[in-house]
Amino acid sequence: MRHKRARPAVLVGLSVATGWIAWSGVVLLLPVSLLFPVLWSMSTSRKTAAMISAGYFLAASRGLPQGVVAFYQSDLSPGLLLWLCASLSFVVVHTILWTANARARPFCYLIAAVLMAVPPFGITGWAHPITSAGVLFASWGWWGIAAMTAGLTGLVTRIWPSVFIAISGAWLWSAVIWNDPVLPDGWSGVDLDLGSSLGREAGLQRHRDLIRIVRDAASNEATFVALPESTLGVWTPTVARLWVQDLNGISATAIVGATVITDDGYDNVLVGISARGGEVLYRERMPVPWSMWQPWRAWFGQGGGARADVFANPVVNLNGVRIAPLICYEQLIVWPVLQSMLQDPDTILAVGNGWWTVGTSIVDIQRASVAAWARLFAKPLVISFNT
């Protein structure tokens, strides 16, 4: 009797440890997340499956409450509420699809994994174990996705120890030969440390300072210079004219984060600027839910939130280079990167504005995730963050 009572507590404790370690921001620890399906399959009831799912997800996303406090300058309660709400889709999907039928369990887990990878549930599909494919099967591309899918389903069967041993072997080998994604020739990804002022301080001097950064990178033979999300603030004709004029005389193109105001809200975008002109290159497919993307506003005839161009522009072409852009939140979920990889881009560009994540591992997790995806598909990677 005591054993039966202790078993759920042990499984939940292990799921919390799994989420905490796997999503600590260290790319080589991502395969720890593969313990989650094993623990899920060991549940003896739907209630236990729910607690295991909640423990894993809440541990993996533990930085969210503190980030919300910093972003909204509020107390902890809104952050805790958002943290719990964000976990609902993950917990509900894995609870409903849990089954005591051992034969049906692999099929049920496969459905859960797919649902958490694509909209609508995939909108909050953080901490997806399939992200670790880039560590275990570097350069395998879509075959790596297939192998990882087979491995995930195998981990919820009775032969899971054999599957786990095979995965562990691949993990150890990967740790021995691991190399970080390469920076493509002619690219410079600039990290900034401007805190919450980036994009909010829109004075002439700030723009001049940013342009100087681009010119310095160009002097070091960079053809493309990436700056973080929201760098320019609002993209206007005046801002465009200033940048185009001040980039006169250099051949480099700056790829810079900005905001475009629309009739019913705004778009979070990347713009390309050179001495030849400036244009919007990419509109974010999935802005951060709740803080940016607020679709419920339209239900009440309100506007003001960021628009989600869910399946638009997965790859953009700039001067003959095909780029897969990922802005901030898109680096934490599965479908944006897979949608982009379907079109076989030349490079991955990951930008973010993580000033509000200070004291958390969120930016490190974003960097680890995009590094894993870049290694899986053998793509060069450019990263530019503000903290």
> How does pLDDT run across 320-343, given as a tens digit for each residue?
999 999 999 999 999 999 999 999
Domain boundary pick from 155, 177, 199? 177
What's the rounded Cα separation, in Å, for the pair 331 and 259? 19
| 283 lies in some domain | yes
**pLDDT digit string (tens) for 251-297?**
999 999 999 999 889 999 999 999 999 999 999 999 998 888 988 88
Model pLDDT, residue 103 = 95
CATH number reported for the structural domain that contains residue 252 in this entry: 3.60.110.10
Task: Based on the fold, state whether residues 195 and 107 are members of the same structural domain.
Answer: no
Task: Based on the fold, state whether residues 147 and 232 are members of the same structural domain.
Answer: no
Give yes or no for a cis peptide into 120 (omega within 30° of 0). Answer: yes
Task: Based on the fold, state whether residues 170 and 230 are members of the same structural domain.
Answer: no
Range(s) of the domain holding residue 150? 2-177
Task: Based on the fold, state whether residues 173 and 212 are members of the same structural domain.
Answer: no
Model pLDDT, residue 31 = 98
| 268 lies in some domain | yes
Task: Based on the fold, state whether residues 199 and 168 are members of the same structural domain.
Answer: no
What's the rounded Cα separation, in Å, for the pair 56 and 12? 8
Task: Based on the fold, state whether residues 267 and 166 are members of the same structural domain.
Answer: no
**Is residue 2's pLDDT more than 70?**
no
| 126 lies in some domain | yes
pTM above 0.85, yes or no: yes
**pLDDT digit string (tens) for 293-319?**
988 887 777 777 899 989 999 999 999
| 260 lies in some domain | yes
Rounded to an integer, the average pLDDT of 177-196 is 96
Domain boundary pick from 125, 147, 177? 177
Contact 231, 258 (CB under 8 A): yes
Domain boundary pick from 177, 204, 225? 177
Task: Based on the fold, state whether residues 173 and 208 are members of the same structural domain.
Answer: no
Rounded to an integer, the average pLDDT of 355-383 is 96
Model pLDDT, residue 299 = 77
| 182 lies in some domain | no
| 35 lies in some domain | yes
Task: Based on the fold, state whether residues 158 and 138 are members of the same structural domain.
Answer: yes
**pLDDT digit string (tens) for 5-60?**
789 999 999 999 999 999 999 999 999 999 999 999 999 999 999 999 999 999 99
Task: Based on the fold, state whether residues 252 and 299 are members of the same structural domain.
Answer: yes
**Is residue 164's pLDDT more than 90?**
yes
| 280 lies in some domain | yes
**pLDDT digit string (tens) for 68-106?**
777 777 678 777 888 888 899 999 999 999 999 999 999
Task: Based on the fold, state whether residues 253 and 320 are members of the same structural domain.
Answer: yes
Task: Based on the fold, state whether residues 230 and 103 are members of the same structural domain.
Answer: no
Task: Based on the fold, state whether residues 173 and 191 are members of the same structural domain.
Answer: no
- Quickly list DSSP for 130-174: GGGHHHHSTT-THHHHHHHHHHHHHTTSTTHHHHHHHHHHHHHHH
Burial class of residue 202 (count of CB atoms within 10 Å of its CB; 0-12, 13-18, 19+) = middle
| 286 lies in some domain | yes
Model pLDDT, residue 1 = 54
**Structural domain count of the chain:** 2
What's the rounded Cα separation, in Å, for the pair 161 and 168? 10
